[in-house]
Amino acid sequence: MEHPAKQAAGAGTPTTLTSLLTELNGGKILDLTVMAAIRVTRSTGDENDDDTVGKAVLSEAVLKLFTSHVGKSPEILITNAIRHANDELEMEIEKFNKIQRRMYCGDEHMKHYNFPLNRLIKGPKPDSKMFLKLFMGEESAEALLADTELMNKNGRKDEEIDTHNTEGVTYTALRKEVSQISTIELLTNILQYTRKEAGKVSTIDLLKFSVLYGLDGVMNDIIKGCYGGETGELTVNTFLPLNDEAIEDVDHEGISSSPKLFYPAYALAAILGHANVVESALSYPVANIDKSVGYQYGYDEEMIIRDNNHNLPSQVFSWVL
């Protein structure tokens, strides 16, 4: 029988935070304090009362829910998102300026996302717009970005690089609007979007999604089987592809000159600077910091594991540096 989260994700019906949390807890009824915390923090009428102690208890309950099912803290998740959005914006500005000066060589993106010791190997690339969808909700994020255009789309002219470029609007929104969103709203939006993803992708793809966007609580729930799907032997050591691009067929034998690499969760998170995911992944008893690396050489070949090498920690260390 299909997991309730999978069934509901494909049903297209509105989902309350209470039902989401109930599903993640295996169908168990939520604690009364948790239910009260959700009710009170959602009620504008109760926000102005003078029960400071009571509100502090309920606020702590909401934060605990966030930590358990989403990430270490709202501040950490938003800070990570702002950092990535800033990197993306600065990279696009540099690219634009080089285009204007006729100095662009087409390798700015490669330099930013590729392994430093082998520029043919592509690294993980989160989409900053996804952070907006996670934090604000999909509809709000799409409405905010509706009238924007990518900075370097179709060689835009200098006067067009203004507040309406997608990268700039995304960065500004993360710093301003998103930073003002309450914990309860962040919790709801992230869990709703994640459950929607769970209805569309494989469990391994969902695991990579959680690592790519720094959601350590979501990662833990996926490994526990809370989002349904086939978990099998899924652990924090499961190999995740560094990028989502299909490997190219570059010769008649179907062998690429640059292999596609597969890393475990902690290594992928370390490259992206998601320290909260690294910490959570390595806290598992089965976590292996000296795990082998997975390689895929041909576009139609299976991933292979080199059990005789122990260079993953040094590869991750050089990438981070």
> Mind listing the pLDDT tens digit for each residue in 168-211?
999 999 999 999 998 989 999 999 999 999 989 999 999 999 99
pLDDT tens digits for range 213-228:
999 999 999 999 998 7
How many other CB atoms sit within 10 Å of the CB of residue 123? Answer: 18
pLDDT tens digits for range 47-63:
445 555 567 777 888 89
Kindly compute the dihedral angle of the four CA atoms of residues 66, 69, 75, 77, in this order, to the nearest 10 degrees: -160
pLDDT tens digits for range 146-172:
988 888 876 555 555 555 889 999 999
How many other CB atoms sit within 10 Å of the CB of residue 321? Answer: 6
Domain boundaries defined on the chain: 4-71+183-199, 74-179
Q: What is the DSSP track for 271-313?
A: HHT-HHHHHHHHTSTT--TT---EEEEETTSPPEE-TT---HH
Q: What is the pTM of this model?
A: 0.84
C-alpha closest to that of 17 among 181, 225, 185: 185
Q: How far is 20 from 2, CA to CA, in rounded Å?
A: 16
pLDDT tens digits for range 236-283:
999 999 988 777 655 545 445 678 889 999 999 999 999 999 999 999
